[in-house]
Structure 1
């Protein structure tokens, strides 16, 4: 039992104890900053991978390596005999017989290096993920609740490797000159899913767990619903862009806003059954890509107008960014079509899709977990 205080004892002379934090603050936070920078490195590598994949497609290099050897394939041909063996395997597929007959070994080596570089970059991404994950795991520095999320990222990367070979294998038999456009769309779509997951993780790791929990109570449900729609339509447009690339639909119908002088391309329903035309007819595929772009821009403008009423400056700024990038991406798309999709504009347009995708996800993150601000910022 504590002793009695003297009647004239001065108040405040007792030793004060430091205040204790709550349960959230008491938990080990792990190396949030370290994990964030590791993910940023992965993000940059995936963006480069998407660009290299696009150039591999534009240079018709994707079928130059006809085998899938995840480990030994990292070693390129080292002598004349190895090069001749690779070339002989390529000469056995339809692309060579029907399109590149007479190609020299030197010409083959150019497209081979593009595809080898694309696959090698995939291996590098896998190694960077594995080294980072195992390193943080061994050091017990993974933030609480993040182990499964980082494992999911690795699983998606492994799945992407399988999908890549599934795509390439579609062009090795029969009479195909390229990979199946459907499989190309799945491959590119999954790349953007991986990119989106990494971006989301980075946005979350930039802030403390306690900050996110406090911010969620101040979320903006109406704007969050808008960002759900924008993310879905943006992703659909990206996948449809892969269909355009898969059948070279961007190099036909180079007038705008009409197509061959009309609203619809001529003879848009030549294939049977009718639904195949939406995925395989070059005119109709490009037409649908244009219509989705118009719809997406209209939705972004509507969301922007709604976001202007947000009390959060960061939310308003996020939607400003989405609108600005959407307009720029529309201009890039029109220029790409009107100049018959040269590789420089095509890659720039694809990079624009990456930026728009990330900005839409950033706006969504902000509406779920608004950043705290001063009264002056709100005004």
Structure 2
């Protein structure tokens, strides 16, 4: 039976004896090492950006087919002597790229392209190792925040899939008189890299604030702007894929006039390859035309979203879309200059890194839509 109390007893007089009142779930102490997991994700973010850059340079230097085998473990050891180098060179001499295009290549020149591809693959192994050490470490220490195990495991699965797709891409250029890898496989490979980078970006942003703050921030969402931000992400990803198709067939080094193409709106003979569907992947004029048109649509849509975002009641949301518009203008100008100078490697890689910056900033702006930061009336 409960102890009887006097009706004249002061409320709270025995609080210390009874213990402090427990808060609800939203007030509970956060579980998991959110800051440490976020720091680990930032390291992975930097490595994936470096991987995209090295992959672009590998493509621009025509180095991607220099290693003709996929050895996930033993392939980490490069040739250690003259005999090993000769064996690797002989394997390369057996593929069409050497037989048709590089018959006069010397051993010194082969080593140069070999190191680019070996470095690209080695960086992939480093990313896998950093992910595995971090994930297993946090899992064993029980420091993964609740609900995050599946998401972080998914990053590792996508990373493994990316390695398999990388070999699927390379294998397309090893026979059938192919001088390069299949452009649609290159687009798949680069597209998945951007998906992984986008997920890391979103996860890092999620972990930058406590769960309670995110739950509260969701109440201030601006649905219309969120929808527009989602479309901006989709159009940016489409432009990345089309850019990969351009890179896959060196379409950026032809039709260097702007705003026309060979003096006309459409390039000459845009559907000359049979069957017709192959033109959308292999016709350099049509592929570059699609990349240009998609860029114009993205640019105009970005301006529209920026104008809409200026009416947002949140200062950080407005600032986020200022950043998107700024990099969008820079990327448009850089793309035009890259084409007009026939895509030299230094401009081409800057253009690719500009796509990375745009991708990250669009995702950041969309996250700000979903979880607007709280602000005072004065700062609004």
Same fold (TM over 0.5): yes
Partner of 1:263: 265
Structure 1: distance between partners of 2:11 and 2:159: 64
Deviations 1:40-73 (A, max 9, x none): 0000000000000000000000000000000000
Rounded Cα–Cα distance in structure 2 between residues aligned with 1:10 and 1:143 = 42
Q: Could you tell me which of 206, 209, 216 is aligned with 1:207?
A: 209
Cα drift, residue 256 of structure 1: 0.8
User: Does 1:134 find its partner at 2:136?
Assistant: yes
Confirm whether residue 85 of structure 1 aligns to residue 87 of structure 2: yes
Question: Which residue is 2:179 aligned to?
Answer: 177
Whole-angstrom CA distance in 2 between matches of 1:19 and 1:332: 60
What is the alpha-carbon distance in structure 2 between the residues aligned to residue 75 and residue 207 of structure 1? 42
Per-residue displacement from partner, 1:70-101 (whole Å, max 9, x unpaired)?
Answer: 00000000011111100000000000000000
2:30 touches 2:210 (CA, 8 Å); kept in 1? no
Which residue of the other structure, out of 95, 99, 102, is the alignment partner of 1:100?
102
Conserved 8 A contact 1:200-1:362: yes
Of the candidates 193, 196, 208, which is equivalent to residue 191 of structure 1?
193
Q: Secondary structure at the match of 1:271?
A: coil
2:51 matched residue in structure 1: 49
Distance 2:268 2:152 in 1: 49
Q: Which whole-Å CA distance do the structure 1 matches of 2:15 and 2:164 have between them? A: 65
Q: Aligned pair in 2 of structure 1 residues 4, 156: CA closer, same or farther (>3 Å)? A: same
Cα 1:308–1:71, aligned 2, differ >3 Å: closer, same or farther? same
Distance 1:4 1:362, change over 3 A: same
What is the Cα deviation at residue 273 of structure 1?
Answer: 2.3
1:297 aligns to 2:282 (yes or no) = no
For the residue of structure 2 that corresponds to 1:377, the secondary structure is coil
Partner of 2:334: 332
The question of 1:151 aligning with 2:153 is answered yes
CA distance in 2, matches of 1:55, 1:233: 25
2:224 corresponds to = 222
Matched residues in 1 for 2:334 and 2:20: separation? 58
Q: Deviations over 1:228-256 (max 9, x none)?
A: 11111100000000000000000011111
* Contact 2:334–2:347 (8 Å) recurs in 1: yes
Q: TM-score, normalised by structure 2?
A: 0.96
User: Counterparts of 1:350-365 in structure 2 under 5 Å?
Assistant: 350-365=352-367
TM-score normalized by the length of structure 1:
0.96
Distance 1:3 1:355 in 2: 67
Instruction: Name 1:29's counterpart in structure 2.
Output: 31
Question: Any idea what SS the aligned residue of 1:179 has?
Answer: coil
Moved over 4 A (4+): 9-19
User: Following TM superposition, by how much is the alpha carbon of 1:12 offset from its aligned partner in structure 2, in angstroms?
Assistant: 7.2
Q: C-alpha distance in 1, partners of 2:330/2:285?
A: 24
Structure 1 window deviating more from structure 2 (243-252 vs 216-225): it is 216-225
Deviations 1:163-202 (A, max 9, x none): 0000000000110000000100000000000000000000
Contact 1:28 1:144 in 2 (8 A): no
Instruction: Note the C-alpha offset of 1:10.
Output: 7.5
The alignment's C-alpha RMSD in Å is: 1.4
Alignment equivalent of 1:273, drawn from 272, 275, 280: 275
Unaligned ranges ≥5, structure 1: none
Long gaps (5+) in structure 2: none
